[in-house]
Amino acid sequence: MDSAALRQEAKSGACPDAYRAVRALSVALAAPLSDADATIQSMPDASPAKWHLAHSAWFFETFVLRDHVAGYRLFDAEWPFLFNSYYEAEGARHPRAERGLLSRPSLEEVLAYRAHVDAAMERVLDRPELAGLIALGLAHEQQHQELLLTDIKHALSCNPLGPAYAPAAPRFRQGGDGWREHPGGIALVGHRGGGFAFDNEGPAHRVLLEPFALAERLVTNREWDAFIADGGYATPALWLFDGWAWVRQHGVAAPLYWREGEHFTLAGWQARDPAAPVAHISYYEAEAFAAWAGCRLPTEFEWETLAAGEDPAAGNQLDVCAAVAPTGTAALFGDCWQWTRSAYLPYPRYRPAAGAVGEYNGKFMNGQYVLKGASCATPRGHSRAGYRNFFYPHQRWQFTGLRLARDL
Ligand SMILES: [Fe+2]
């Protein structure tokens, strides 16, 4: 976060209720999990639920309590080695791909760690000079809440019994079939101050838009079935060079978690709803589908410009512990993160913050694509029009989907 954003937050101080609510949701999301569920790691990209719980506590313990609270004592001096994610400034750490080997500490001990950190945090929530860091810690924890859900979904999908995380969540309505048109022109994008934003969302700057249209709804499972039936995964002309190599190398023939008429969900194996948005597609698949449909992916700036007047807290997003799933809404936000064709790059005049928190975003601005919106697993209130999510083009274990765009 840049210093201007830190100052902005500092004017108001952190909201103790917000801190307690975010921290409580993390614990609630782990409630359906046994210690064994919370310990396993199904692939290097995914982390154990227990690790997410501990790492988000480590973030507060390190960057708020250790660095700014005199006399604070670490819960356990050996644990930062386990729960530092990628902060080089914080020194050596346990290998990411081996987080699933951490059978100790137990889930119960990790929950005690969280309680220890929370008790210390309660004494500093009203300190204005810490408000910016606390806001960053809460936004960080919300990101890990989404990862906790997508990571446990992947882990459970690897179990031949197809266990459910929780009962199925309620459904929302589907949006319209039209297009939202924009005449183009010079648009101001990026964070303009007022409220929290990650450093990668700024500085605000101008971009030139050509006339374009954005679909009112996400691409559905029914449409994806038609793409498959039309030989979409067997037609190299539809694919980017790297995308076609990925299809061939991994034998990809459908979105992640699909088998015949079913897909794996947080409620276990379920029949696919043809009208629900397709999820768990890679950037490569999104590009190929758009080519097949005679359309293209939106740029991040087109998407942000149309979303600027929308309520970012609308739509199908995470409120409570549930087996969330994309179900279809009229909102621009929710259901699935939406791939854009925009490379994840620094905005003009972007500078990472000084110190370890400067490693949060900037060092990942290479080889990834921006996703906009929010998903059914994004905590409601976390995202906004200027939010920039980012993943590598082959990754698809997040709730990633597609909203088509076209030129006018
Ligand atoms: Fe993290």
pLDDT digits (tens, 9 = 90+) for 254-300: 999 999 999 999 999 999 999 999 999 999 999 999 999 999 999 99
Cα of 90 to ligand 1 centre, how many Å?
Answer: 13
CA of 326 to the centre of ligand 1 (A): 24
pTM, entire model: 0.95
| CA–centroid distance, residue 296 to ligand 1 (Å) | 32
Asked whether the beta carbons of 14 and 131 are under 8 A apart, the reply is yes
Using the mean position of ligand 1's atoms as its centre, give its distance from the Cα of residue 86 in Å.
Answer: 8
Copy the structure tokens of residue 72: 């604070």
CA of 390 to the centre of ligand 1 (A): 14
Q: Which amino acid is at 191?
A: H
Task: State the Cα–Cα distance between residues 368 and 42, nearest whole angstrom.
Answer: 22
Homologous superfamily assigned to 179-407 = paralog of FGE (formylglycine-generating enzyme) (3.90.1580.10)
Separation of CA 55 and ligand 1 centre (Å) = 7
- The pLDDT of residue 207 is above 50: yes
Per-domain boundaries in the chain: 3-157, 179-407
**Residue 243 — pLDDT band, cuts 50, 70, 90?**
very high
Rounded distance from Cα 273 to ligand 1 centre (Å) = 33
Element (H, E) at 398: none
For residues 310-326, average pLDDT: 96
CA of 387 to the centre of ligand 1 (A): 17
Element (H, E) at 340: strand 337-343
How far apart (Å, rounded) are the C-alpha atoms in residues 43 and 35? 18
- Distance, CA 51 to ligand 1 centroid (Å)? 10
| Spacing, Cα 235 to ligand 1 middle (Å) | 39
User: Which is more confidently placed, 169 or 311?
Assistant: 311
Side chain identity at residue 338, one-letter code: Q
Q: Which residues contact 46 (CB under 8 A, 6 or more apart)?
A: 147, 150, 151, 154, 155, 397
The rounded distance, in Å, linking the Cα atoms of 243 and 249 is 10
Q: What are phi and psi of 53, to 5 degrees?
A: -60, -40
Distances (CA, A) of 223 to 92, 230, 369, 402: 47, 11, 23, 11
Q: What percent of the chain has pLDDT over 90?
A: 88
Cα of 83 vs centre of ligand 1, distance in Å, is 9
pLDDT of residue 177: 86
